[in-house]
Amino acid sequence: MVALVASLALAGCTGGGPEAPTATAAPQQPLGAQPLVARTQPQFQADLDGLRGRVVVVNFWASWCGPCREEMPALEETSQAYAKADKPVTIIGVDASDVRSEAAKFLADVGVTYPTVYDQAGLRGGVAASWTVTGLPQTWFVARDGSRAGRIGGRLTADALRSRVDELLTGS
């Protein structure tokens, strides 16, 4: 695992842009296999395509962002609650424009168990930019059919999160 994290960190440091051989290849690991696996936009879209039929919450965050840090426990709690209730809901964290080692430490400290990916380019041309994220935190909702079903900018409350997810689960 240490070797994997180190190799991914080195790949991220070299730019990992579209010219990198792995940028256009299929993801090397399934979503959630390890925290902070680097993703390009095509790889991230492939992850989402594999989640059709589920409500997906995509939370863009960074370890240096105070409101992101404040909302993370609510995201974890909500993820666990829907999993225990066997509801078709997946929360995905996208660590955008961050230092991977600091993000990993924060995830471990909070005890995040839902899938998280690393978006090195982030707000400057990465996955976050392709979702029109201009500030953090920002949370997008994806309906069961794979369509984007709205977003909440700024710090997310547990009540707002659950309310929107429940609307999407019932088809509203």
- β-pairing, 138-142 with 148-153? antiparallel
pLDDT in single tens digits along all 172 residues of the chain: 333 333 333 333 323 333 333 344 443 467 777 889 999 999 999 999 999 999 999 999 999 999 999 999 999 999 999 999 999 999 999 999 999 999 999 999 999 999 999 999 999 999 999 999 999 999 999 999 999 999 999 999 999 999 999 999 998 5
Single pTM value for the model: 0.82
Kindly state the tokens that stand for 20: 């990198």
Q: Does domain 2-13+34-170 have CATH number 3.40.50.300?
A: no
Residue-range domain boundaries for the chain:
2-13+34-170
